[in-house]
Amino acid sequence: MAANSEENPSPGSFRLFSSLSDEKPNLNLGFGFFDPSNEPRPSPPPCVEVLSSEVSSSVKYTVEPVNLDGLTLLKGRVRTREVFALSNSDLVPGKYEGGLKLWEGSLDLVKALRSEVVNGNLALKGKRVLELGCGHGLPGIFACLEGAAAVHFQDFNAEVLQCLTIPNVNANRPKRAQPSETNVTSCDTESEVRFFAGDWSEIDKILPHEHGTGDNADFSSGCNPVSGYDVILMAETLYSICVFQNLYELIKKCMSSPHGLMYMAAKKHYFGVGGGTRRFLSVVEKDGLMDFSMVAEVADGSSNVREVWKLSFK
Ligand SMILES: C[S@@+](CC[C@H](N)C(=O)[O-])C[C@H]1O[C@@H](n2cnc3c(N)ncnc32)[C@H](O)[C@@H]1O
C-alpha cells in the first residue's frame, strides 16, 4: 500500500517499490544492481532527544483512521514538500529516510503484534519498548495502548518526530491527557513516551535503556537483566544493506538479555536497492547470537512479498 500518492521521484531519491507498478522492473534485479546507498552519504544529523513540547505547529497535519483488521488507529498526513522542501520524493539517502510516509510493513507489524498478544505469545503490558525507524509510529502506539511501561520512538529525522510521530501519539491517546512541557508525555496513563532522532550508528549514546556491548553486557548469562528494551519493533528499515551492520549492532546494544524480543517487518527483498529481510537475517545468522522465526508472510499482490520476523537471544 502506498499511503502517499506522490509520483515521479526527483533525481537523487529512490522509491522502495511499494506498489505493483513500482515492483515490475525485471526479475534479474539482484542485490546492489542499483543501490543508491553505495553513493557517499552526507554526515548524519546529530542525535537529539525531541521533547513532546517541540511538536510542530507550522506544518499542516490532518488525521485519518487506519483500519487494521478491526483495530482502528489514527494516522496523520503531512506533505514532504512542506517539511523538507523536497518535491515528490519518497526518500533521499542520508538526508530524509522516508519517515513521513506510511509503509505497508508497519501495518503488517501492528497486525502481527496484535495476533501475538491475542495468542498469548507476547505481553506488552509493563514492558520497555523501542520502535526503530518509527515514522508514523503505529507499532509503538499499539504497544502504548497495550499498556507498555515505556515506549521510545526513534527516527532518523527530528522533523518527522515533530511533524508526524508526536501528533500521531497525541491523536491516539485518550483525549484528557495533553502534552506537557517535559520530555515525557503519555499516550496511556501508564506509558512513558519519548522521542529520539539520529542515525543508528550513534543513537545508542542517547537511548535511555541501551546497555552497551562492553563489560556491561553479557549476552550469554543474562547478568544485566534490568537494562535494555524488552521489545524492539521496526518496520521497513531493511532496504539499504550499507546500514545493516550498524543496525544489528544497535539492536544488540539495546535489546534486553536474555528475554528481549525484536519484531521486524519488511519486504523479503527490496529489488534494486539491495536489502530485505533475508539479507539482514544472514548478518544475524553469521553472528550466531540470535534465533529468529517467521511470524507472518504477506503475499497480497500489493507489493513484493512482505514478512514479519521475531528475533531473540539464543
Ligand atoms: C521507509 S521508512 C519506514 C517508516 C515506518 N517504519 C513505516 O513503516 O511506515 C524508514 C525509516 O527508517 C529510518 N532510518 C533509515 N535509515 C536510518 C539510519 N541510518 N539511521 C536511523 N534511522 C534510519 C528512518 O527514520 C525512516 O523513518
Alpha helices by DSSP H, the chain:
20-23, 80-84, 104-118, 138-145, 158-160, 166-172, 244-254, 277-287
Structural contact between residues 63 and 76, judged by C-beta atoms closer than 8 angstroms:
yes
Indicate whether 18 belongs to any domain. no
Indicate whether 7 belongs to any domain. no
Task: pLDDT band for 51, please (50, 70, 90 cuts).
Answer: very high
- Flag whether pLDDT at 283 surpasses 80: yes
Q: Distance from the CA of 163 to the center of ligand 1, in angstroms?
A: 15
Indicate whether 248 belongs to any domain. yes
**Would you state the pLDDT for residue 9?**
36
The 10s digit of each residue's pLDDT in 212-221 is 654 444 444 4
- Flag whether pLDDT at 125 surpasses 60: yes
**Would you state the pLDDT for residue 16?**
46
Q: Distance from the CA of 276 to the center of ligand 1, in angstroms?
A: 14
Indicate whether 293 belongs to any domain. yes
**Would you state the pLDDT for residue 27?**
24
Indicate whether 15 belongs to any domain. no
**Would you state the pLDDT for residue 147?**
96
Residue 194 has phi, psi (to 5 degrees) of -140, 160
**Would you state the pLDDT for residue 274?**
84
Question: Could you give the angle at which helices 104-118 and 138-145 cross, rounded to 10 degrees?
Answer: 20
The residue assigned the cell 534486553 is 256
What residues line ligand 1, using a CB cutoff of 6 Å? 97-99, 102-103, 105-106, 133-136, 155-156, 199-200, 235-237, 243
Which ligand 1 atom sits closest to the C-alpha of 154?
A: 25
**Would you state the pLDDT for residue 225?**
42
The 10s digit of each residue's pLDDT in 129-145 is 999 999 999 999 999 99
Beta-ladder partners of 235: 265
Output the CA–CA distances (angstroms, integers) from residue 205 to 28, 174, 233, in the order listed. Answer: 41, 32, 19
Output the CA–CA distances (angstroms, integers) from residue 268 to 192, 237, 264, 271, 308, in the order listed. Answer: 33, 12, 11, 9, 9
> In a mutational test of the pocket of ligand 1, which residue from 136, 141, 156 has the highest number of ligand atoms less than 8 Å from its CB?
156
**E-only strand ranges, 128-223:** 128-132, 150-155, 192-197
Indicate whether 17 belongs to any domain. no
Range of the domain at 223: 28-36+49-313
Mean pLDDT of 92-112: 94
Indicate whether 85 belongs to any domain. yes
Which residue has its alpha carbon closest to ligand 1 atom 22? 156
Which ligand 1 atom sits closest to the C-alpha of 94?
A: 19
User: How many domains does one find in the chain?
Assistant: 1
CB neighbours of residue 88 within 10 Å: 14
- Flag whether pLDDT at 33 surpasses 50: no
Beta-ladder partners of 74: 65
Mean pLDDT of 9-21: 38
Q: Distance from the CA of 98 to the center of ligand 1, in angstroms?
A: 6
Q: What CATH number has the domain bearing residue 93?
A: 3.40.50.150
Indicate whether 271 belongs to any domain. yes
Q: Which three cell numbers stand for residue 260?
A: 528481549
Beta-ladder partners of 132: 234
Averaged pLDDT score across all residues of the chain: 83
Structural contact between residues 226 and 260, judged by C-beta atoms closer than 8 angstroms:
no
- For the ranges 103-112, 170-179, 188-197, 225-234, which has the lowest average pLDDT? 170-179
The residue assigned the cell 517487518 is 265
What is the per-residue burial (b if ≥16 Cβ within 10 Å, else e) of 208-236? ebbbeeeeebebeeeebeebbbbbbbbbb
